[in-house]
Amino acid sequence: MAVRVFEGKDHAAAYLQYRIAPDELITLLQRLTHQFNLAVDVGCGSGQGTILLAPYFTKVVGTDVSPAQLEMALANSSPPNVSYRECPAEELPFASGEVDLVMAIAAAHWFDRKRFLLEADRVLRPGGCLALLSYTMDFELEYGGVSNTALNDICEECIVVYNHSLS
């Protein structure tokens, strides 16, 4: 069951106005992605991160469970290759192996991460990129037979490398 705390229209409007768009992280993602056909921004909210992907991919789809957030995303002007779908992160409306980049900005901590990671693995093409962008790593990841500690250690390592690349 998805956590529904982003539903109000006023909340969605304020979010669109005040959310900081992470341009430099998108630049980093370009370096980590090898094919640029389809990118999916899961838990896209009002679409600030979604539209940043548009110059680099043939098609970009933002997905979210909140109709109010998606309404705001649609009201905000989007490039023609960007579209939005209402769906849970754990049930993405894409064929297996169809997606080049699955991204979630400040959203994965709300997901059922065990189901989301399995779903991301299903839709990503072999060698595709999963990018979980977050303010903190104050949550656990769980995937298949891989231990939580191993996955979180990998994320911590990425954070350290990224912070180092900024300094």
Ligand X SMILES: C[S@@+](CC[C@H](N)C(=O)[O-])C[C@H]1O[C@@H](n2cnc3c(N)ncnc32)[C@H](O)[C@@H]1O
Q: Which residues bind ligand X (CB under 6 A)?
A: 2-3, 6, 19, 43-45, 48-49, 64-66, 69, 88-89, 105-107, 110-111
Distance of closest approach, residue 102 Cβ to ligand X, in angstroms: 12
Sign of the torsion angle spanned by Cα atoms 160, 161, 162, 167 = positive
Contact predicate 72/80, CB 8 Å: no
Query: In the chain, helix, strand, coil percent, each to 5?
Result: 40, 20, 40
Q: Give the angle subtended at the CA of 164 by the CAs of 163 and 167, to the nearest 5°.
A: 90
Distance of closest approach, residue 127 Cβ to ligand X, in angstroms: 24
Of 44 and 120, which CB lies nearer to ligand X in the complex structure? 44
Which residue, 140 or 153, is less far from ligand X as judged by CB? 140
Residue with Cβ nearer ligand X (39 or 164): 39
Nearer to ligand X, 89 or 99 (CB): 89
The minimum distance between CB 24 and ligand X, in angstroms, equals: 14
Minimal CA–CA distance to 49: which of 35, 159, 57, 5?
Answer: 57
User: How many other β-carbons are positioned within 10 Å of the β-carbon of residue 10?
Assistant: 8
CB 63 within 8 A of CB 86: yes
Among all residues, whose Cβ is closest to ligand X? Answer: 45
Please report how close the Cβ of residue 150 comes to ligand X at its closest, in angstroms: 24
